[in-house]
Chains A and B, each alone.
Chain A
């Protein structure tokens, strides 16, 4: 059984640029959620995908968008990067039902 893997692990971007982060869900998991974790804070929910459809969104602007693919892997895209977007981006997958979430190690994004 493989866990949740994210790529890249670290990334530095310039303000105004666009970024794509990737996540491979744990084997058999059909739900993927993305969270933003600022330094010293708890993770904040961005959005969730279930069977390739977005089925929940947190308080993030439309420049945060995502996709889920038929193999349940997922992408998080952020356009027009701002300095405040600097954070650890965590992907979590689950099977639904009574199963909990498994988190990946995250992508550390720095916007300069």
Chain B
């Protein structure tokens, strides 16, 4: 089955700096890669996702890149703010079949701390 590795496990940056979190996946059939932000005691929230037919996607200060050949994808956060502090999870999925989505396989998470 799919295996997702995520690095680093913790990341501390100064406010205004950039943060990069990297993930690798094992199953070349995976074609959907979402990123979730989870604040302490709260639900995982989808912040950005990318499908295998594109190499990069951007939404304001957040961007995700995908290298299908190397089977890795990365989350980039620019101009970090204290409210970006949370645990970030990457995930991989084979997308969907008919009317149903395939399961998500998650990485172990990265605790991002943005220091004021």
Contact = CB atoms under 8 A, between A and B. Distances in A.
Interface of A: 4, 30-31, 33, 35, 40-45, 48, 50-51, 55-56, 58, 90, 92, 94, 96-106
Contacts of B91: 42
B96 A98 contact: yes
Q: How large is the interface on B (under 10, 10 to 19, 20 to 34, 35 or more residues)?
A: 20 to 34
Chief secondary structure at chain B's binding surface: strand
B61 interface: no
Contacts of A58: 103
A41 B51 CA distance: 24
A42 B109 CA distance: 6
B73 to A, nearest CB: 15
Nearest to A56: B103
Interface of B: 4, 6, 32, 34, 36, 42-46, 49, 51, 89, 91, 96, 98-109
Given A90-B43, A101-B46, A102-B46, A45 B101 contact: no
B99 A97 contact: yes
Given A31-B101, A48-B103, A43 B89 contact: yes
A50 B100 contact: yes
Contacts of B104: 33, 35, 43, 45, 92, 101
